[in-house]
Amino acid sequence: MKHTGTEGTRNLLTDRPALYEARFPDPGRLAGRWAEDCLRRYGAGPTVLDLGCGTGRDAAHLHRAGRRVTAVDLSASMLDHARVHHPGPVYTRADLSGFALGRRAFDAAVCLDSSLLYCHTNEQLDGFLASCRRALAQGGLLVAEMRNGAYFLGRNEPPAGPAVAQFTWHGTTYRSTTVLDVDRTAQLLRRTRTWSTDDGTPPVEERSAWRLLFPQELRHLLTAHGFEVLALHDGPGPRTEPAWRPGDGPGRTADGDRLHVVARRTAR
């Protein structure tokens, strides 16, 4: 988990990054390829900040593409795993709601897989965007991918019943039962997930949440913090159906379940 915010930090997959990669395999590095395509499409320079890097797979892909990458996460176990298994970037620990990694030190920042949405409050979102502006050179890009709050308007979402999934890793079967609930007052999508295994380990319950941001709300926040929005759309992207493919350009709607944004730091 690419964590920031006020929920508890105990998480089975965050505490065991190799298990995280087994649960969410990405052999084609789709998210990293999409991010690199955005950076090239909008002419970003070579120095990149990966915010909420998780196990480091996407950061390492950007590094192999020729970028000089600094990758940050709040999870020490994720960073330890990244340094060993996905070398190349410089990995460091930081909270996305407020970080100081040098003034105008980066040509671009990427924030994938809803990492931005672990900033739950307006103050945390302001801290994130102010930190990004401070870290980016004039004209630097911010590329982000996340859940779309607008998707929940007028739809029977999230589902009323729990979602059940399982996978097997090193001979142990892991089963998850996940319940999602929209907290409209806090504008959060809250998740309760219970893990059980077939090896006799006691079940583990996790609670986390994502901020639900709406497209025009996100556009306003970016503009208020000195960014010009270049693209804001629901796909195609690395987690859409159908998924992004090389050669795909940005979409024109913002109705789907994912939101993708590219913004440029202005001179003011």
Q: Which of 90, 99, 96, 87 is nearest to 71 (CA)?
A: 90
Could you tell me if 103 and 136 are in contact, meaning their C-beta atoms sit under 8 angstroms apart? Answer: no
Give the per-residue pLDDT at 6.
Answer: 36
pTM: 0.94
Which tens digit of pLDDT belongs to each residue from 181-227?
999 999 999 999 999 999 988 999 999 999 999 999 999 999 999 99
Phi, psi of 44 (to 5 degrees): -75, 145
Sheet holding 47-51, edge to edge: 90-93, 68-73, 47-51, 106-111, 136-147, 258-265, 227-233
Which tens digit of pLDDT belongs to each residue from 8-64?
446 888 889 999 999 999 999 999 999 999 999 999 999 999 999 999 999 999 999
Task: Say how many C-beta atoms besides its own lie within 10 A of residue 14's C-beta.
Answer: 23
Give the per-residue pLDDT at 43.
Answer: 98
- Indicate the helix (H) or strand (E) that contains 126: helix 122-135
In whole angstroms, how far apart are CA 78 and each of 120, 145, 222?
21, 20, 29
More confident residue, 249 or 154: 249
